[in-house]
């Protein structure tokens, strides 16, 4: 493909259930007509919603995009647990709820799972232990010690009445969380706080990397939109980034395009977007150990 036709930016796909994140990337790659495509934050096949897909030079920013908050809506059911913590796995525990828990008890359990928390990832997850993913151990019937992970729950609340059906209770929720949070495990932990098994029985991501579902296009539309129409849905790299912008002098640009460290600029906790003649060239980060600015992302040295 002609380099001048390469698209740099992100496109947001409203992923349907039953499709893997890898499938979405493959379809975007074919529709856009370029190979350099990746996604920021995997969605399980049975989860629908926002999948942020990076194109071209924007793939350099996937690690940054993944650090931004994600928001989900879904359903938690109290009264049974599965091996996968969602409906994909076999039921491993059941409890008959003869006396329904009050809204207050459920809301107090949810309130305890706010802020900085610790999570043990589910066995059916992609976390690696000794070079092997947990789901590989699970499929082989092997049990291993799972690493405890940090997560931040920015907001977690019940969004519906609690329904009592077939001696189980279920309710809808909304949660805004950090990178690495397992919503399935959050559902299970609500049950643990109450003292009953629980399962995440539905999940939709409504925001990823700070971008909401309103900005997403459907997977089906990739087949029908022309390339020109698709371009209208691309979010540019400049619109993705929120860090301060610094315009470079000729001498500064010479240093930056040659990957040099810079000590003359004022220290900052923010990254700097470096622009030369109106074009974003790179992002620099301040190294407090060496008291210099150094390259973090490079988009072009031309």
In degrees rounded to 5, what are phi and psi of residue 201?
A: -105, -5
Which of 14, 44, 48, 86 is catalytic? The answer is: 44
Q: Under a CB-based contact definition with an 8 Å cutoff, are residues 23 and 13 in contact?
A: no
Q: Under a CB-based contact definition with an 8 Å cutoff, are residues 86 and 184 in contact?
A: yes
CA distance 169 to 75: 10
Q: Under a CB-based contact definition with an 8 Å cutoff, are residues 134 and 146 in contact?
A: yes
> Does 44 participate in catalysis according to the annotation?
yes
Q: Under a CB-based contact definition with an 8 Å cutoff, are residues 195 and 81 in contact?
A: no
CA-nearest of 40, 8, 57 to 298 is 57
Query: How far does CA 148 lie from the centroid of its chain?
Result: 19
CA distance 175 to 205: 10
Q: Under a CB-based contact definition with an 8 Å cutoff, are residues 203 and 183 in contact?
A: yes
Q: Under a CB-based contact definition with an 8 Å cutoff, are residues 183 and 85 in contact?
A: no
Q: Under a CB-based contact definition with an 8 Å cutoff, are residues 50 and 12 in contact?
A: yes
Under DSSP, the state recorded for 214 is: G
Would you list the DSSP string of 109-158? Answer: HHHTS-EEEEE---SSS--EETTEEHHHHHHTT---PPPPEEEEEEEEEE
Residues with a known catalytic role? 44
């Amino acid at each position: 493909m002609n380099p001048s036709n390469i698209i740099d930016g992100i496109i947001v796909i409203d992923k349907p259930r039953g499709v893997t994140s890898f499938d979405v990337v493959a379809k975007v790659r074919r529709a856009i007509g370029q190979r350099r495509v990746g996604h920021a934050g995997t969605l399980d096949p049975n989860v629908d919603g926002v999948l942020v897909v990076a194109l071209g030079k924007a793939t350099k920013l996937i690690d940054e995009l993944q650090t931004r908050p994600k928001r989900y809506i879904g359903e938690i059911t109290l009264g049974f647990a599965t091996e996968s913590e969602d409906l994909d796995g076999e039921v491993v525990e059941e409890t008959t709820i003869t006396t329904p828990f009050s809204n207050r008890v459920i809301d107090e359990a949810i309130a305890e799972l706010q802020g900085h928390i610790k999570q043990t990832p589910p066995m059916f997850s992609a976390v690696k232990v000794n070079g092997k993913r947990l789901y590989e151990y699970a499929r082989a019937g092997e049990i291993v010690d799972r690493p405890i992970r940090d997560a931040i729950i920015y907001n977690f609340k019940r969004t519906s009445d609690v329904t009592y059906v077939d001696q189980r209770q279920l309710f809808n929720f909304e949660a805004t969380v950090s990178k690495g949070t397992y919503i399935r495990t959050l559902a299970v932990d609500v049950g643990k706080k109450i003292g009953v098994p629980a399962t995440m029985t539905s999940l939709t991501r409504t925001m990823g990397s700070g971008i909401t579902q309103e900005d997403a296009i459907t997977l089906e539309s990739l087949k029908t939109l022309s390339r020109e129409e698709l371009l209208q849905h691309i979010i540019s790299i400049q619109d993705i980034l929120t860090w301060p912008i610094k315009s470079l002098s000729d001498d500064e640009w010479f240093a930056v395009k040659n990957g040099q460290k810079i000590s003359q600029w004022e220290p900052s906790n923010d990254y700097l977007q470096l622009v030369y003649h109106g074009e974003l060239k790179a992002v620099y980060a301040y190294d407090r150990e060496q008291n210099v600015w150094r390259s973090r992302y490079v988009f072009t040295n031309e």
